[in-house]
Amino acid sequence: PPPPPRRKAKAEKKEGLLSGLLKSLKLEELDSGDVLLLLILLLLLLDGDDMELVIALGLILLLGFGGDQTD
């Protein structure tokens, strides 16, 4: 008889909170640097002191999207 199907380990079954959130927002192709820059940008935006820095980091984030795609 064939062997019984293997059960997935808990680590394989359960996704991380951040990866699940990125998949639900359809942003799973973002790397950790982009996510970190986005979180810093949101923190600075909520703080509201230096809008020039928020704009500069936002432009860096936008320029970084899709930078590693090949034709």
Tens digit of each residue's pLDDT, the chain (71 residues): 788 777 655 545 566 776 777 678 776 777 778 778 888 888 888 888 888 888 888 888 888 766 655 54
**Number of independent structural domains in the chain:** 1
Do the domain assignments include residue 42? yes
Does a structural domain hold residue 3?
no
- Name the phi and psi angles at 67, rounded to 5: -75, -25
| Residue at 45 is within a domain | yes
- Domain residues for the domain of 57 are 10-64
Q: Which residues contact 54 (CB under 8 A, 6 or more apart)?
A: 41, 44, 45
State if pTM tops 0.75: no
Q: In this structure, is residue 69 part of a structural domain?
A: no
Q: Whose structure tokens read 């935006």?
A: 45
